[in-house]
């Protein structure tokens, strides 16, 4: 299945590939050039279909869990001072998504969107230390039954299109599709110190499936 968040890009690229093949078959000579064009179009179409895939996921049903919002690899698990939503010391889990990962993002918890901000910035490599601060990003804060979570969809060197359908006041469910970042990127997940990180650097994550943390009490912040 192709994600709805990528329909515009997918159909544009598909149209270009179909047009290229048609021109190659009708106009281009010799056969060698025609073959190169057709083969290239097929490869580009294949990669585009693969990139915008959107498989179904079975999300764990436990309210205290914090679920990975992205497929990828854990870059960092660290304590930071977060001044935008928590204004406190918090945990931050950073996940890098390569161009080969599924890029559909999912809500890490169930709750209400309390904060949304789009920040313009640079397009440095998403795995770099400065990407969380300097790169263009969408910042979303959600308040759930057991606590709050902030996540940042961060653009990278190739990923320059961020899609997020959430707005302040919206209700969202854990594991629900909420957007994507196109063509390789990074996602930071921030949660309070009363939650416990359950992943380590180097771990692979699956959006909507992998548990990256858990709230350790039932007291709402």
Element (H, E) at 49: helix 31-51
The second-level CATH assignment, the architecture, of 65-215 is Distorted Sandwich (2.70)
Please say if 185 is a catalytic residue: yes
Note the pLDDT tens digit of each residue in 204-219: 999 999 999 999 865 5
Note the pLDDT tens digit of each residue in 170-200: 999 999 999 998 876 889 999 999 999 999 9
Cα distances (angstroms) measured from residue 171 to each of 7, 60, 96, 166? 24, 18, 26, 8
Among the listed residues 68, 94, 107, 185, the single catalytic one is: 185
Asked if 86 contacts 190 with a C-beta cutoff of 8 angstroms, the reply is yes
**Burial status of residue 86 (CB atoms within 10 A of its CB: 0-12, 13-18, 19 or more):** buried
Q: Which two tokens stand for residue 5?
A: 């968040």
Report the alpha-carbon distance of residue 105 to residue 69 in Å, rounded.
5
Residue-range domain boundaries for the chain: 4-51, 65-215
Note the pLDDT tens digit of each residue in 127-178: 566 666 667 889 999 999 999 999 999 986 655 678 999 999 999 999 999 9
């Amino acid at each position: 299945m192709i994600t709805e968040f990528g329909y515009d890009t997918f159909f544009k690229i598909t149209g270009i590939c179909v047009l290229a093949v048609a021109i190659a078959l009708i106009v281009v000579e010799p056969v060698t050039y025609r073959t190169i064009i057709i083969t290239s179009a097929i490869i580009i179409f294949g990669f585009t279909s693969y990139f915008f895939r959107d498989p179904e996921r079975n999300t764990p049903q436990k309210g205290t869990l914090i679920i990975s919002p992205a497929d990828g690899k854990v870059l960092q698990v660290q304590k930071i001072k977060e001044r935008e939503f928590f204004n406190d010391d918090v945990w931050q889990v950073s996940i890098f998504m390569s161009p080969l990962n599924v890029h559909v993002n999912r809500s890490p918890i169930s709750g209400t969107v309390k904060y949304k901000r789009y920040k313009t910035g640079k397009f440095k490599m998403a795995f770099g230390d400065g990407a969380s601060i300097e790169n263009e990003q969408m910042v979303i804060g959600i308040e759930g039954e057991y606590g709050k979570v902030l996540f940042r969809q961060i653009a990278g060197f190739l990923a320059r299109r961020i899609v997020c359908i959430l707005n302040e006041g919206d209700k969202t469910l854990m594991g629900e599709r909420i957007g994507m970042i196109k063509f390789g990127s990074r996602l930071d997940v921030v949660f309070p110190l009363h939650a416990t990180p359950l992943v380590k650097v180097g771990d692979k994550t699956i959006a909507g499936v992998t548990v990256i943390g858990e709230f350790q009490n039932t007291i709402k912040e």
